[in-house]
Chain A
Amino acid sequence: MSLLNLLAAAVVAVMPAASPEPAITLTSDQLTAVTGQTLSLESVLTRPDGVQSGVAHLNVTSLDGVYVDLEDWTMDVTQPVGPDTDSQLSWEVQAVNSGHFALYVVLVPKTGSLVVSPPVLLTVTARQTLDTGGALPVAVAVPAILGLAILATRLRTAR
């Protein structure tokens, strides 16, 4: 190690450290899903001062220009963040539309400026989940069988 390096290390050690800003990170940066699938997302809030409080807000935005109704996607739009709350928040999101989306969490603190997480890029592929052809026979057969059974019993007792 050169003398210059040693000197620089000594200066850093004796200088007061600059207070780092709060930050939010998400546990993944890329996700894929099919329509209707429910996804879990974790956000971690780093609070250097330890008392950062406010409201955490999840947002979903389409990268293809598709209209996003946030209420359809999640019931956890906001979660309170206080000095005593866990730094790790869970979010549940249901992929309602197909396409490309960005998901991100914003902390709206009581004081100070917004803290925004990096986005998670979500790719949703369309899928017809329910079998229309299979549902119809059951939907017709069950009431029909029950109806016929009732009719037969009534006719038999009426005789």
Chain B
Amino acid sequence: MSAVVVAEQESRDLWVGGRGPLLVFAFSVLLSAMTYLAATNRAMNFLEQREAVNLTVQVSLTVGVLLTLLVSADAISGERERGTLEALLLTPVSRRGIVGGKLVAALTLWLACLVVTVPYLWVLGRGVAVAGQAALLTLIVGTLVAVGLGGLGLLISALTSSNKTSLASSLLLLLVLFAPTQLPALPKTGIGEALVRVNPIGSSLHYVSQVLVNRRSWTYDLSYLLSPALLAVVVCGVLIATSPRIVKLTAGVSSE
């Protein structure tokens, strides 16, 4: 119950006068620019509609998860630096409740990004009836990735000694995971396939494009969702197990 109270207030802090609306506004500007270019630029216009929808889903998923990761990376280290963490730790709310509430609040940013994405999916997917499928796919796959990476952001935030370090490490982590997806052509077997499968972002983007562009069934490459699902489960497990020891006034895992 206390986790719900924390989640409510953290979400309120994020959305009422906080950074949430500005981040989502910036996100919408990015999607608008991309959609307009895709629809008007002659070089890009050869894109099949399904591919344009897929491109939008991929940008939405990556940027939405990036924003979620940055909010969660600030959640503990930021409160430490602002001097507000001690007051929270002095309440009877369990450390797990605090972490759970903060993760849920960070995930509201991802859900807002998803909601903002829907009109773009609709306009790009008109005529091929793919927008609904794409939105559902983004909700499921994106939420898995957002839970995993958002949780990882919280772990980094709890373990790093300054907020700057936490934000920089989280950003670096996302870049490391995102960069391989932009390599021109990884081999589709052996090490190349393993690299895609092991990377929660790479494997998620692969799965989404298989369903949206290649019209595979949802179960065709389902095994590619193993890595984001595993990341989400493992990170949540680690948070549940370690939060009583790592959510504290000073960074680190030693007992205070």
Task: Report A's interface with B, CB cutoff 8 A.
Answer: 35-38, 71, 75-76, 92, 94, 96-97, 128-132, 134-136, 138-143, 146-147, 149-150, 153-154, 157
Choose the segment among B48-56, B137-145, B218-226 that binds chain A (4+ C-beta atoms closer than 8 Å).
Answer: B48-56
Chain B interface, >50% SS class? helix
Answer whether A130 and B32 are a contact pair too, CB < 8 Å, given A76-B188, A149-B21: no
In the complex, are the beta carbons of A142 and B38 less than 8 A apart? no
Answer whether A143 and B47 are a contact pair too, CB < 8 Å, given A76-B188, A135-B39: no
Known: A38-B48, A138-B119. 12 other contacts (CB 8 A): A36-B51, A38-B51, A71-B184, A71-B185, A97-B46, A134-B126, A138-B120, A139-B39, A142-B31, A153-B16, A154-B17, A157-B17
For residue B254, CB closer than 8 A to chain A, the reply is no
Chain A interface, >50% SS class? helix
Choose the segment among B22-30, B157-165, B195-203, B233-241 that binds chain A (4+ C-beta atoms closer than 8 Å).
Answer: B22-30
Contact of A35 among B46, B123, B185 (CB under 8 A): B46
The residue in A92, A96, A139 that gathers the most chain B C-beta atoms within 10 A of its C-beta is A139
Count of interface residues, chain B, beta-carbon cutoff 8 Å:
35
For residue B217, CB closer than 8 A to chain A, the reply is no
For residue B72, CB closer than 8 A to chain A, the reply is no
Minimum distance in angstroms from B214 CB to a CB of chain A: 7
6 A-B pairs (CB sep. < 8 Å): A96-B46, A132-B40, A140-B32, A143-B25, A150-B21, A157-B16
Give bound CA distance, A141 to B126, whole Å.
Answer: 17
User: A153: which B residues are within 8 A, CB to CB?
Assistant: 16-17, 21
Minimum distance in angstroms from B181 CB to a CB of chain A: 13
User: B33: which A residues are within 8 A, CB to CB?
Assistant: 139
In the complex, are the beta carbons of B39 and A132 less than 8 A apart? yes
User: A157: which B residues are within 8 A, CB to CB?
Assistant: 16-17
User: B46: which A residues are within 8 A, CB to CB?
Assistant: 35-36, 96-97, 129
Contact of B52 among A128, A129, A150 (CB under 8 A): A129
